[in-house]
Amino acid sequence: MRTQVAIIGAGPAGLLLSHLLHLNGIESVVLESRSQADIEATIRAGVLEQGTMDILNNAGVGARMQAEGALHHGIELAFGGKRHRIDLTELTGKAITVYPQHEVIKDLVAARQAAQAQLLFEVSNVALHDTDTTKPSVSYVHRGEAARIEADFVIGCDGFHGVSRPAMPAPGRQDFERNYGCGWFGILVESAPSSEELIYAQHDRGFALISTRTPTVQRLYFQCDPADHVDNWSDDRIWAELHTRLENSDGWRVNEGRIFQKNIISLRSYVSTPMQAGRVFLAGDSAHIVPPTGAKGMNLAVSDVHLLAQGLEQFYGKGSEAGLQGYTAAALKRIWRAEYFSWWMTSLMHNFEDFTPFQRQMQRAELDFVVNSRAMATALAENYVGAF
C-alpha cells in the first residue's frame, strides 16, 4: 500500500491529524491495535482548552462538543476548610469545556468514516522501517495478512507504550522524567453533579478532585499510593475518604451514587526529544506525559498534530519543509510550559511523604497567595485555559 502519511495510533492525536490532513487534500492511513469499540469505550479525562475547542470547531467536528459538553468559566480551590473560586473567564476572557476524551474519539471516527478514510483497527506486529531515510515504511498484520505501507511520512501517535518512540534513532535523544511517588484513585459514579465547576482540594490526608462528566455521571479522584489496589477500597471507604477531603463546615456535601468504575493511575512527567528523525515524527503521549493535575494531556496532543498538519500542508502545498523542520522546537515551547504548569499544580495540591513541616506551611502559604493575589490567580487561569 502507498500513502502520503502513515499514522500509527487512533487516539485523539492520530484521528485528528488524519482529519486535518484530509481537509487539506492529503492522504493518510491510520493503524490501531485496538478495536473501534475499545477506543470509543476508553473513558479518560476531557478538559478542553479554548484553543482545542477552536481547532475542533474549525475542523468541523465540534458540533456535539458544543451541544453536550459542559462549558466552565471557573474552577475552585479548596483548602483550610474553605473553597475559593478562580474566575477563568473574568481573568482571561476564555473558558474550558468538559467533554470526555472518548466522546472526542467518537466524533473523529465518525468524521473519518464519513470521508471513507482508511482506518485499520485490530492490527498487530506493527514495525517501523527505514526511519533514517526519506522513504520510511510501516509493516503490520491485519486480519491475519501481513502488509506494508510505503509512505512519505510516518507519524507516531500510539502513546507511551507504543512502537513509535522506541523505533526512533537513539543517538542524540534525551529523555526527561519525574516520578511524583503518588497516584490518583479515580471513580466514575452515577449521580447528579456535586458542583457546577471542578473542585481541586488540598487536604492533610491528600489531594481530591471533583470533575463533572455528564448530568448523570461524575468523575472523582483522590490521592493514593500508586502501588495500592482498587480491591482494597470498598465503596463505603471511598465515600468516607472523599467526604473527609472535600467537605467543610458550610453544609455542602458530595453527592453519592453507584460507583461503576475504579482505577488507579501513577503521576509522572516525561518528555522525549527530539520529536522527529528524518521523516518520522512523534505526537501526543508518544513523546510526552503530564500528570493530570493540570488537565493538559489531550490538549498537548491536539497542539502537536495541529503543528504537524500545518507543516505537512506547507510541504505538499508549497514545497516548503520549514514547518516540519521546526516542529520539535515549536512543539516543545508549548510542552515545557504545560509540563511546568502540571508540575506546579501537582506540587501545590498534593501531600508528599518527604515534605517537612516547613514545606507544608510553604505549600499552604502559596495557596493563600494564589487565591488572594489577582496576579497569581491570573497566572493560574492563563495556564489552565491555555491563553498563551
The predicted pLDDT at position 377 comes to 98
* Amino acid 248: pLDDT: 85
Residue with C-alpha cell 508540575? 343
Q: Write down the pLDDT at residue 132.
A: 79
Range 105-118 average pLDDT: 96
Residues in the chain: 388
Q: What is the pLDDT of residues 314-341, one digit of tens each?
A: 999 999 999 999 999 999 999 999 999 9
CB 15 within 8 A of CB 36: no
Instruction: Determine the Cα–Cα distance for residues 335 and 287; give it in Å rounded to an integer.
Output: 10
Beta bridge partners of 5: 28, 153
**pLDDT tens by residue, 245-274:** 999 878 899 999 999 999 999 999 999 999
Which domains are present in the chain? Answer: 2-46+100-173+274-345 (3.50.50.60), 181-266+354-385 (3.30.9.10)
More confident residue, 49 or 212: 49
DSSP labels for 6-67?
Answer: EEE--SHHHHHHHHHHHHTT--EEEE-SS-HHHHHH-----EE-HHHHHHHHHTT--HHHHH
Beta bridge partners of 268: 179
Residue 212 has pLDDT above 90, yes or no: no
pLDDT of residue 388: 59
Average pLDDT, the chain: 95
User: Phi, psi (5° rounding) for residue 121?
Assistant: -95, 160
CA distances to 18, 33, 369 from 305, in Å: 9, 20, 36
pLDDT exceeds 70 at position 387? no
Beta strand spans in 39-144 (E): 47-48, 70-72, 74-79, 82-87, 96-98, 118-120, 123-129, 137-142
Average pLDDT over residues 144-154: 97
73 vs 205: CA distance, rounded Å = 28
User: What percent of the chain has pLDDT above 70?
Assistant: 99
267 close to 356: Cβ distance less than 8 angstroms: no
CA distance 102 to 12: 9
Active-site annotation, residues: 72, 200, 292, 296, 384
Residue 214 pLDDT grade (very low, low, confident, very high; cuts 50, 70, 90):
confident
Residue 328 has what pLDDT?
98
Check if the beta carbon of residue 8 is closer than 8 Å to that of residue 157: yes
Compute the average pLDDT of residues 109-129: 96
Least confident span in 1-10, 39-48, 98-107, 368-377: 39-48
Tens digit of pLDDT for each residue in 11-39? 999 999 999 999 999 999 999 999 999 99
pLDDT tens digits, one per residue of 56-89: 999 999 999 999 999 999 999 999 999 999 999 9
